[in-house]
A and B are shown apart, each in its own frame.
Chain A
Amino acid sequence: MYGNDFAAPEDGPGGGLLGEVEAAEAALREAAARARRGGPAPDEDLDGYFTDVIDADQKIEPRDWMPEAYRKTLIRQIAQHAHSEIIGMQPEGNWISRAPSLKRKAILLAKVQDEAGHGLYLYAAAETLGVSRDELVQLLLDGRQKYSSIFNYPTLTWADVGAIGWLVDGAAIVNQVPLCRCSYGPYARAMIRVCKEESFHQRQGYEILHTLAHGTPAQKAMAQDAVDRWWYPSLAMFGPPDGDSTHSAQSMAWKIKRFSNDDLRQRFVDMCVGQAEVLGLALPDPELRWNDERQAYDYTQPDYDELMRVIKGDGPCNRERMAHRRRAHAEGAWVREAAAAYAAKQKNKEKVAA
């Protein structure tokens, strides 16, 4: 279980969560193997049919009928998830040129490359819902779709790369592991792949912090400073508290979401406390303490007003992140046009030759 996923000193995080991912994968295979009911009967109510499939824990696949609101919710969620992977390359990419050893540079490059790959899987999953990647990218560039608020915070030191791996990827996994059981098949399958790689990244981030925390006093201070700055933004990644969350109830009924924002946040806090102890770093919350009655840690909530400001575009790096993405897109236009023109010419040549 998440709550007891305390790492052994040499082990680092990830073990329990990966087990969850594997269990979800097995469940997916079982669901596929179970004889699935065919399409709806001619006179059957489509909504009833859809609810039946969801209740039976079967997956909805691209060609199945689905309520328009379900389709739209999924497009929004998967696209925003894809955008987050693409924008998320920037804060870490910021340290590739300055990584302090060749080994760390290689690990970081591979990680950022994985993120681009995750973006590609997720756009492909969104495309199964009848929208094109180009349209979604345009929505991002126009500021009409969001990406995760966390990537609007700056990476100021090398330790931030470690803190992002441990806390940001950790929070992402806690959020995404339940999505491995999401009712929409292509999203569930993408999440299984993504979570496996993310948990590897989280372990590497933890290892960076562990090395820093056991290094020189300056390195340890750098690690503590990074954890101090990333802790609350990471807690805010789970979204607004349950009472204020607009999409939650419907998403839970559709089995897109499986746990509430506050439940997942609590799991994350419970998981991090033990890991922080092993790291020898403090979590920046004086109110953090074990509650025997609840069998969970009490903690101070993140500042949700700040979260809303960041989501609305007024975080420290929103403008830079968007300007960077728009610049890359605009400066690459002539290259994409050339590739299209070349492909068309090749196709013509083949026709002439045939």
Chain B
Amino acid sequence: MNTLFDFTLALGDDALIAAQRLGEWTSRAPEMEEDVALANIALDQLGAARLLLTYAGELEGAGRDEDALAYLRDDREFRNCLLVELPNGDFAVTMAKLFFLAAYQLPLYTALAGCADERLAAIGAKARKESAYHLDHAALWVKRLGDGTEESHRRMQAAVDQVWPYTHELLTADPAAPVDPATLRADFDATVSAVLDEATLTRPETRWTPGGGRDGVHTEHLSYLLAEMQVLHRAHPGARW
């Protein structure tokens, strides 16, 4: 990543794709309270995505608004991290994804709130409050599942093992960015270790470190996600909704 536009777009894409996946849970959650919570978090992510994409469009100066950026780019132009595009899997996989994402977004948005760019600082200040709630919610579920029944422990550990490699991409150094993700490492590690310990889960070793999302090189999952998300918008070029 090299420009402010790339950076802003990448964060907006993270939030947008996370919202899309969380939205898939609607009416499918294990309990009604969780339906409310997941929709709530999806809405927060979508709200952050709209602010970031709108700003990215302005930075680019090519007349693209949030909808042009969300609906009219192909997967090779999306800049989200791979973590958020992974399928929801079972509830443990969803919670592992949300936990790692929030453990990254909270220090990221907190740092952003203090950055020199006023717009990003304002977005960071708003989004960090929401991230704190997401982190709290996901961490509690990681603990409940990790230290719940034998089956839930097994599933939660499997979810952590499955998702863990994708956290590497979140913290890849980018010294030119308004907030260098590498500087978030200590905060991320501290949060993750404390919660996994309490959840009686083990932290996998980092061997395989998939990446490429920031360069538009995604998993095979993203283009299906986009096909669904964009289908109606693309079917009616130029229409207002």
Contact = CB atoms under 8 A, between A and B. Distances in A.
A106 B20 CA distance: 11
B32 A101 contact: no
A117 B240 CA distance: 30
B207 interface: no
Given A97-B24, A334-B152, A211 B30 contact: no
Given A113-B40, A327-B28, 17 more contacts: A97-B20, A98-B229, A98-B232, A100-B232, A101-B71, A102-B16, A106-B47, A110-B39, A112-B26, A113-B39, A215-B241, A216-B239, A218-B236, A335-B152, A337-B148, A337-B151, A341-B149
Interface in A91-105: 93, 96-105
A112 B50 CA distance: 19
Contact of A341 (B43, B148, B155): B148
B236 A112 contact: no
Interface of B: 16, 19-20, 23-24, 26-36, 39-40, 42-43, 46-47, 49-50, 53, 66-67, 70-71, 90-91, 143-145, 147-149, 151-152, 155, 228-229, 231-233, 236, 238-241
27 contacts: A86-B27, A90-B27, A96-B24, A100-B239, A102-B46, A106-B47, A109-B42, A109-B46, A110-B39, A116-B36, A116-B39, A119-B32, A120-B36, A158-B232, A215-B240, A218-B239, A328-B29, A331-B28, A334-B152, A335-B30, A338-B144, A338-B145, A338-B151, A339-B144, A341-B152, A343-B144, A345-B147
Contacts, number: 142
A324 interface: yes
Contacts of B91: 332, 335
A98 B231 contact: yes
Q: Is the interface of B mostly helix, strand, loop or mixed?
A: helix
Interface residues of A, number: 49
B139 to A, nearest CB: 13
A324 B149 contact: no
Given A101-B233, A216-B239, A336-B30, A112 B148 contact: no
